[in-house]
Amino acid sequence: MIDEGKLHTFIGQMLGDLGGASSVAMVRMGDRLGLYKALHEGGPVTSAALASRVKLDERYLREWLSHQAASGYLAYDPMVGTFALTPEQAMVFAIEDSPVYMMGGFDAAAAMLENQPKVQAAFKTGGGVAWGDQATCLFCAVARFFRPGYANHLVSHWLPALDGVMDKLERGAKVADVGCGHGWSTVLMAKAFPNSQFVGFDFHEGSIDDARAHARQHGTDGNTRFAVAKAKELPEKGFDLVTCFDCLHDMGDPAGAARHIRAALKPDGTWMVVEPMAGDRLEDNLNPVGRLFYAASTLVCVPTSKSQEVGAALGAQAGEQRLREVIGSAGFASVRRATETPFNMILEARA
C-alpha cells in the first residue's frame, strides 16, 4: 500500500534535491562571470542595469537571475524588478574570506560528477582511481572548499587548542604539513608564525607547483618550502609539529604514514590530524554533513586510497574511534580530540 502523505513528502525532497543538483552549473557560472561579486558590490539591480554594468547579454542574465531568485539564492523585489544579494547570501557566494563561503563546494560537486565514469568502472574491479587521474578541477575545488575553514579557524582556534604548540611556533619551530595539496594551510601558518620554518609535502606534483605559487603570491617564500613526497617516505626528521589536513583518510596506508610521522617528530613533538567530522556509527552520520562527505568519499577519497599500496580506504566518515586506532597503532603516547567545528574534528597525537 502506498502512503500518499509519505510519497508527497519524498517527492518534495526529490524536487529540492534535483533543484540543488541543477544549480551547480548555474552557481559556478555566476562565480566565473563575476555576477555574485557585482551584485554584492553594486546593490539591488534590474537585469538591464546589471547587463550594462557587467557587459553581458541581458536575456541570459534575466534567466540566470530568475533561477537564482527561485532558488532563494538572491532576493527579488517585484515592485521594482530588482535582484539583490542579502548579507547572508553574500557570505556564501561573494565573500571569499567568510567562514561560510561555499563556492568550493559547488566546484567539488562538478568534479565529483566528472569522476563518475572512472569510479563507476572501479566499483566492478575494486581498483582505485589515482588522485592525479581524477577530475581536472578537483585539486583547485578541494583547496577552495577547505580554505575558508582553515582561514577562519586554524591559527585562531585549532593551533591554540594543542598543548604548548603556540609557544613553540612563536619562538621558532620546524613544521611539516603532510598532504598539503595546494598549500593554503601551510601558507596561513607561515604568515602567522614568521619565526618558524614550514615544509609542505604532497605526493601530487601538480599540487606542489600550485602550493609554491601560492607561497610566492602571499609573500611566505622566506619560511616555506614544498616538496613532492609520500607521507610514509618523508625525507626529513626533527619536526616540532606535523599537520595533516583532510588527507589521512585519503592515504593508502594511513597506519604506515602514522608510523613514519611519529619517527619524523622530535620526542616532544605533536601531530595535528584534521579530519572530516563524523560519528563512529553509520546511524550517527545520516545527516546533511554525512551525506556530503559520503558522496565525496565514494567519488574521491575511497578511489584515491584504493589506488595506493595497502588501500586501507578509511573513507571520509571514518569517525574518531577508527582514526584513534590507526594513529594509536603507530605507538603515539596519547591521542585526544583537541577541538572541532561542524565540518572537522581536530585530533592531537603526542609522540
User: What residues make contact with ligand SAM under the rule CB under 6 A?
Assistant: 131, 142-143, 146, 179-181, 184-185, 202-204, 207, 230-231, 245-247, 250-252, 304, 308
Q: How far is the CB of 307 from ligand SAM (least distance, A)?
A: 9
- Long-range pairs for 281-285: beta carbons < 8 A, 24 or more residues apart: 281/319, 284/319, 285/317, 285/319
Supply the minimum distance, in Å, between the C-beta of residue 149 and ligand SAM. 9
Question: Which residues are within 8 A (CB) of 26 and not within 5 positions of it... i.e. 6 or more apart?
Answer: 64, 67, 68, 71
Write the DSSP symbol of residue 330: T
Q: Which three cell numbers stand for residue 84?
A: 539583490
Q: Which is nearer to ligand SAM, 165 or 178 (CB)?
A: 178
Residue type, 243: T
Q: State the nearest-atom distance from the C-beta of 257 to ligand SAM, in Å.
A: 6
Distance of CA 105 to the CA centre of its chain: 8
**Least CB distance to ligand SAM at residue 14 (A):** 29
Chain residue whose CB lies nearest ligand SAM: 181
Output 17 or 96, the one with its CB closest to ligand SAM: 96
Nearer to ligand SAM, 54 or 310 (CB): 310
Cβ distance to ligand SAM smaller for residue 30 or 128: 128
Residues belonging to the chain:
351
Minimum CB separation from ligand SAM for residue 70, in Å?
Answer: 33
- CB 27 to ligand SAM: min, Å: 21
CB closer to ligand SAM out of 220 and 304: 304
Of 23 and 307, nearer to ligand SAM (C-beta) is: 307
Residue 219 to residues 101, 148, 198, 225, 283, Cα–Cα distance (Å): 24, 19, 13, 12, 45
Phi-psi region of 16 (alpha: psi -120 to 50; beta: other; left: phi over 0): alpha
Contact 309, 252 (CB under 8 A): yes
Which residues in 50-195 belong to E strands, given as ranges? 75-77, 82-84, 174-178
